[in-house]
Structure 1
Amino acid sequence: MSTDKEYDRMLAGKLYVTDKIKSFNREWPGKRLVQRINQLPADHVQEIIALERRIFQGEHDNVFVQPPFEVDYGRHIKVGKNFYCNVNAIFLDTNWIIIGDNVKIGPRVNLLTAGHPIDAGVRTSLLEFAQPIVIGDNTWLGGNVTVLPGVTIGNNVVVGAGAVVTKDVPDDVVVVGTPARVLRKITDADRQYWQRQADEYYQG
């Protein structure tokens, strides 16, 4: 049984107070590690990747996050294989962020698991909450996308640039807007069109 009730409440999605989390569970080690990564020269790619493996748990086959980026705890993020994230991402991993295989993330994307009560009286008492974010396989988040606490995004999804994703997204759709809404399904016609483009590239 855990000896840190407040930390357990945080990961369970219940109200908690950050300052009551015990020192051995606080966010500072992850923040210091990301600070080291962000200070490395851009061409020190292998050194960056080696340090990022300590942040991004799970598969490490072709995984790269382009610095600079930020985390909250830096130990509640799990990614699949073939993961690429462009610059200035914020992984607010107060709860788990779980990312599938073959996911691409554009610049300035915010994955925000942390939230605060709507009621001002409760909010000003320093109580807060955190709920996990899940992103499925083969999904692409465009630049400046924000994903809010508790959201699950399905497989093969395209999230248009600037969207704010406030609720779950099904598989095989394009979503856009604030709040994000389904624009359309991804169809066989889409697949056929892009496969022809790929075939032309490889045959050229």
Structure 2
Amino acid sequence: MASEKEKMLSQQPYIASDKILTRERLAAQSLCFDLNSISPKFVAKRKKLLQKLLGSSTENLHIESPFYCDYGYNIFLGDNFYSNYNCVILDCAKVTIGNNVMLAPNVSIFTAGHPKDAEKRNQGWEYAIPVSIGNNVWIGGNTVVNPGITIGDNTVIGSGSVLTKDIPSNVIAAGNPCRAIREITEEDKQYYFKQRKF
């Protein structure tokens, strides 16, 4: 019979209060606590903790505190990753983030969910579906990325968005629910904000 962890990692319903999962979440919470308690000036020490916490990362990453996650080992970061303050990643399933990705403050990435049926929910059942974020993505502040979402390469997600469906590559997307508004064009290379040119 599969363990609750094996069920979680294979996208089957599972019970999160399982002893092994509880112990692993506590270990990740302890590492997050240590990370969030260290002065920002201790860059090398912070990176060591992140390497211990995360599934994979490169030397070229920067995560502002506070940062929170469920397990850490399901988070796979590409090169040149930046996360601003108060990032939350519920990584009960795999979260894959490409190269050159920037997260504004208060971005939340959720792989975890609960059944719609109250009885099942009250019994402690959960599920987890992976999230994938491509290369060269910028996600605006106060955005929520829900379970099972894929964001394509070179895409910008506007502030305050709630992603309930996949977002393609090379677009500006925003809203609740988030949707593609338009493609990013050559003309966009001229401007840094609205009609303000570089």
User: Could you tell me how far 1:50 is from its partner in structure 2?
Assistant: 1.8
- Between Structure 1 and Structure 2, whose CA radius of gyration is higher? 1
Q: Give the conservation status (yes or no) of the 8 Å contact 1:31–1:72.
A: yes
Aligned residues: 194
Other-structure match for 1:12:
10
Matched, 1:135 2:137: no
Q: CA deviation at 1:106?
A: 0.5
Calculate the aligned-residue CA RMSD, in Å.
Answer: 1.9
Counterpart of 2:144 (choices 143, 146, 162) is 146
The share of aligned pairs that are identical, in percent, is: 36
Match status 1:27 vs 2:25: yes
Kept in 2, the 8 Å contact 1:7–1:25? The answer is no
Shift of 1:13: 1.1
1:172 alignment partner AA: N
1:6–1:21 CA contact under 8 A, matched in 2: no
Q: State whether structure 2 residue 76 is matched by structure 1 residue 78.
A: yes
1:26 is paired with a residue whose SS is helix
Deviation at 1:134, TM superposition (A): 0.5
Structure 2 unmatched ranges of 5 or more? none
Which structure's residues are more often strand, by fraction? 2
1:145 shift after superposition: 0.7
Deviation at 1:55, TM superposition (A): 2.2
- Secondary structure in 1 aligned to 2:55? strand
CA distance in 1, matches of 2:123, 2:76: 31
SS of equivalent to 2:125 = coil
Displacement after TM superposition at 1:59 (Å): 4.0
Normalized against structure 1, the TM-score is what?
0.89
Q: Hey, what's the Cα distance between the residues in 2 that align with 1:114 and 1:120?
A: 16
| AA aligned opposite 1:63 | L
SS of equivalent to 2:181: strand
Q: Residue 57 and residue 75 in structure 1: after superposition, are their counterparts in 2 closer, same or farther (change >3 A)?
A: closer
Matched, 1:158 2:156: yes
Q: Once the two structures are superposed, what CA deviation does each residue of 1:139-159 show, in whole Å capped at 9, x if it has no partner?
A: 000111110001011100100
For residues 103 and 150 of structure 1, the distance between their equivalents in structure 2, rounded to whole angstroms, comes to 18
Greater CA deviation, 151-160 or 17-26?
A: 17-26
Q: What's 1:96 paired with?
A: 94
Using the alignment, how far apart are the partners of 2:2 and 2:64 within structure 1?
34
SS for the counterpart of 2:135 is coil
User: How far apart, CA to CA, are the structure 1 residues paired with 2:19 and 2:11?
Assistant: 14
Provide closer, same or farther for how the CA distance between residues 194 and 175 of structure 1 changes in structure 2, counting only shifts above 3 A.
same
Query: Could you say which residue in structure 2 is the equivalent of 1:115?
Result: 113
What corresponds to 1:62 in structure 2?
60
Give the counterpart letter for 1:128 in structure 2. E
Indicate the residue corresponding to 2:50 in structure 1: 52
- How far apart, CA to CA, are the structure 2 residues paired with 1:57 and 1:188? 36
Deviates more, 1:14-23 or 1:167-176: 14-23
